[in-house]
Amino acid sequence: MSDGEPQTDVEREQHGTGVRSVRRAFDILNLLSEERPVITLREITEGTGLAKTTVLRLMQTLEETGLLRSHPSGYAAGPGLWRWAYLARSQWEVPQETRKVMRDLADRLGETVNLFVARDLHRICVAHEESPRPLRHVVDVGDEQPLWAGASSKILLRDASDALLRRVALASPHGEAHVERLRAWATEAAERGYAVSSSEFDEGLTAVAVPIIGRTGKAVASLSLSGPSHRFPYEAVEHFATDLAEAAALLSAQGFDHPLSQAH
């Protein structure tokens, strides 16, 4: 390309400007939340650090594509996002049979049941059934938690490489020294068949987790029970682990499958 000539779309992509525009658009969309369903132009410029003229151009494109819509107080999610959300739900939601197993566990044991899969340095909740008790542990579907602590992390790391364990440790508050502890936790969980954590991630929270085994014989997900620590004495933990293992075996036999577990 000669100096002064306008760039083509391909050249913009090669020089990174095309990717940058997409990232900027997603930065704007990420400002939306349940707590803030409507965002103002000022909130967008402050939240992204972009110039007002750049924001206006991006907002025009997002409106034209239906990803955002004008609102009397600013901008809100558009109908295009609803279509994507519906598609994502149909692809990513766990089967009803899995939900039934989890609901039965939560009702019978009285604690919250979560299903986690690993993605890079995090574990992501892909399904949950809340405890019927007023005081309960709540994790929403889509929530990410770090892999450096927690019963489910110990399960999901049991087949992890040394390189992954090191990356997880470096992302933790403990640094590289945490590698050996992670390895010991994962080994113990594999030998015992379940893992336990108490106040490792959330103070006063205890969790018990077991693996869901995929077709390759590796743990593709963790099935966990969590709640206030005072409701998890040693005798209860043993009982919980047994019931969880039976449920996990049923889910494994049903052929548990989830896009994130395949990605991992």
pLDDT tens for 19-39 read: 788 989 999 999 998 889 999
Q: DSSP label at 135?
A: S
- pLDDT of 93 above 80: no
pLDDT band at 261 (very low <50, low <70, confident <90, very high): low
Q: Are 128 and 143 in contact (CB under 8 A)?
A: no
Q: Which CATH fold would you assign to the domain 9-84?
A: Arc Repressor Mutant, subunit A (1.10.10)
Provide the pairing of β-strand 112-119 with 38-39: unpaired
Q: In the chain, what percentage of residues exceed pLDDT 90?
A: 72
**CATH 1.10.10.10 residue spans of the chain:** 9-84
Q: Which CATH number fits domain 93-263: 3.60.20.10, 3.30.450.40, 3.40.710.10, 3.40.50.150?
A: 3.30.450.40
Q: What is the pLDDT of residue 259?
A: 62
Q: What is the pLDDT of residue 12?
A: 42
Q: What is the pLDDT of residue 157?
A: 97
pLDDT band at 195 (very low <50, low <70, confident <90, very high): very high
**CATH 3.30.450.40 residue spans of the chain:** 93-263
Tell me how far CA of residue 207 lies from CA of 15, 59, 68, 236, in angstroms.
Answer: 48, 44, 40, 11
Tell me how far CA of residue 205 lies from CA of 29, 134, 208, 228, 247, in angstroms.
Answer: 33, 15, 10, 5, 22
Give me the mean pLDDT over the 132-136 stretch: 91
Q: Among the listed ranges 7-11, 40-44, 80-84, which one has the minimum average pLDDT value?
A: 7-11
Q: What is the pLDDT of residue 18?
A: 54
Estimate to the nearest angstrom the gap between the alpha carbon of 65 and the chain centroid.
27
pTM: 0.71
Read out DSSP for 162-220? Answer: HHHHHHHHHTSTTGGGGHHHHHHHHHHHHHHS-EEEESSSSTTEEEEEEEEE-TTSSEE
